Amino acid sequence: MTKSRRAHGRATAAKKASAPASAPAGAAGDLTAVVGDNLRKLRAQRGLSLEKLAQQSGVSRAMLGQIELGQSAPTINVLWKIAAGLGVTFSALLTAQPRSGPRVLRGKEARVLSSADRKFTSRALFPVNEPRRVEFYELRLAGGGVEHADAHASGTVENLVVTEGEVEIEAGGTTQTLATGDAILFDADTPHVYRNRGRREAVMFLVMTYADTVG
């Protein structure tokens, strides 16, 4: 092979390596469109220009524009940067808009999270894979159980009602004792504690409201 042909071959290979991948097809292509739509809506909701979001996320204005138009499939790392810049969770960029009509959430299919000691459980009573500002939970705390909750995002409010048993809620520097039927509303953007000093399980229902869309 002549020197000129070898040089041409190297140039062609380099060109192929540096060329952007073609737009994904099928499910991947659908996901690219979903990400673009979600990015555009979330950015508009926050009143952010492409330039401003670029500054907040560290992703270039040009790349953000291409993603919004569905012309570029972002990497996981880029999506994390964008989510952080918008102040939303990773899934908020990946989830298609919810369908209309009634939604049934079967108890046997529920996603239940437990504390390390298994004394506290939390069951989501809402579609967890959709953007939202309000979340609804069933909480169960075994007798003698204590759950220390970290601070949630700024502006988060919890509205809780006790349906069985008695619990103490420590929040905002005060402790309130709630009997069956009692409810409480408190700012949850500071650490707070759920405490069951009784012997029987306590059951609570919690509505959590965020200042901004999550999920």
Please give the chain's pLDDT, 215 residues, in tens: 444 444 444 333 333 333 333 333 344 557 788 888 889 888 888 888 999 999 999 999 999 999 999 888 888 888 889 988 998 887 788 877 655 678 888 888 887 889 989 999 999 898 876 667 889 999 999 999 999 998 988 899 999 999 999 999 999 999 999 999 999 999 999 999 999 999 999 999 999 998 876 65
Q: Rounded to 5, what percent of the chain is helix, strand, coil?
A: 35, 30, 40
Enumerate domains of the chain plus CATH numbers.
22-94 (1.10.260.40), 107-214 (2.60.120.10)
At 3, list the tokens: 């020197």
Q: Which two tokens stand for residue 196?
A: 């069951």
Closest CA relative to residue 55, chosen from 84, 94, 91: 84
Q: What are phi and psi of 135, to 5 degrees?
A: -125, 150
Contacts of 92 (CB under 8 A, 6+ apart): 38, 42, 83, 86, 131, 213, 214, 215
pLDDT of residue 112: 87
Query: Tell me, what's the pLDDT at 206?
Result: 97
In Å, what is the CA distance from 18 to each residue of 11, 12, 23, 78? 11, 10, 15, 18
Environment class of 34 (CB within 10 Å of its CB; exposed 0-12, middle 13-18, buried 19+)? middle
Q: 0.75 exceeded by the pTM?
A: no
